[in-house]
Amino acid sequence: MDGPLRVGLLGTGPWAATVIGPVLAAGPETTLTGVWSRDAAKASALAGRLATMPFADPDDLIATSDAVAVVVPPAVQPDLAGRVAAAERTLLLEKPLAADPETAAALVDAIEAGGAGALVTLSHRFNPRLDAFAEAVAGLHPTGGRACFVSGALLTGPYANGWRLERGAVLDLGPHVLDLLEVGLGEIVSVRAAGDPHGWVSLLCEHANGATSTAAISGASAGPARTEVEVHGPDGGAVYDGAPDLETWPTRLRQALVTVADGGEHPASVRRALHLQELIATIEAQLDRVGP
């Protein structure tokens, strides 16, 4: 591809405004072609801050872009992402893909039918520490492990609202935890859950290779946020510290999007995101059954 990848931004929420938009606008691998939002005033304000143009019609922005970042709530994402896929533009999507796994599966089918590439913002997949962790695990044959994603994001601040507050931490943080456990121990084939998605959730996972793991998820725990995974076995252990690498993360995200746009593959695929969403649905169903 000659020149930077032209990327449009659909959405002006806190993640779009403070992370994805600025990362794409910074380049040099990408350039931001414009911003669209259901709220025209927000689109105009964010476009001004990112030195690009606001768009009144999402289809016009899609048409002028090589790729489109869809950064909207899960219930809104499938319709907009489907329009991008129909236009055969590369997609940068958020997790979860949709509000439920059935809609997510239909979206994945539409994306694959359209033939354009797609990348999902499974954030830790762009952290070089995860590459080092995966390399260390490869020679260990671990038999078990544990993980956590604990934060206070649902107590206060820009993310303590909307779908995150309504559904709780499992839908928001769970995909990251499950993805990290699978990096360390392989595919999760069953999961049991207990707790409250608005407080603390504990998981017991079984992996295809016979390993087992535990995980803790909370978005309502005050104090420093922690994302960690560790695995152990007869040959030793390995630990992943999920603290963000702010120097390299933006570049790695942009490079991954360019790779996908050029026809390459990346682990943060829509099929992976769908698999994780199906696990999340299983967890949420179990928590609903035990209820308060």
* Within a domain: 214: yes
Per-residue pLDDT tens over the stretch 175-194: 999 999 999 999 999 999 99
Same-domain status, 111 and 49: yes
Alpha-carbon distances, residue 66 vs 55, 172, 191 (angstroms): 16, 28, 39
Same-domain status, 135 and 237: yes
* Within a domain: 275: no
Same-domain status, 94 and 150: no
Please give the structure tokens belonging to residue 62.
């899609």
* Within a domain: 200: yes
Same-domain status, 253 and 111: yes
When divided into structural domains, the chain yields a total of: 2
CATH number for the domain harbouring residue 83: 3.40.50.720
Same-domain status, 92 and 137: no
pLDDT of residue 246: 87
Mean pLDDT value of segment 51-73: 98
> Is the per-residue pLDDT at 200 higher than 80?
yes
Please give the structure tokens belonging to residue 158.
């820009």
Please report, to the nearest 10 degrees, the dihedral formed by the alpha carbons of residues 86, 92, 259, 21 taken in order.
130
Last residue of a domain, one of 243, 258, 280: 243
* Within a domain: 289: no
Same-domain status, 81 and 32: yes
* Within a domain: 210: yes
Same-domain status, 118 and 80: yes
* Within a domain: 192: yes
CATH number for the domain harbouring residue 231: 3.30.360.10
> Is the per-residue pLDDT at 245 higher than 90?
no
Same-domain status, 108 and 252: yes
Same-domain status, 161 and 106: no
Same-domain status, 147 and 73: no
Whether residue 96 has a cis bond before it, omega within 30° of 0: yes
Per-residue pLDDT tens over the stretch 84-142: 999 999 999 999 999 999 999 999 999 999 898 999 999 999 999 999 999 999 989 99
Same-domain status, 227 and 169: yes
* Within a domain: 276: no
pLDDT of residue 152: 97
Query: pLDDT class for 291, splitting at 50, 70, 90?
Result: very low
Same-domain status, 237 and 132: yes
Distance of CA 135 to the CA centre of its chain: 22
175 and 167 Cβ atoms separated by less than 8 Å: no
User: 161 is in which domain, residue-wise?
Assistant: 128-243
Q: State the residue for tokens 């405004």.
A: 17
* Within a domain: 291: no
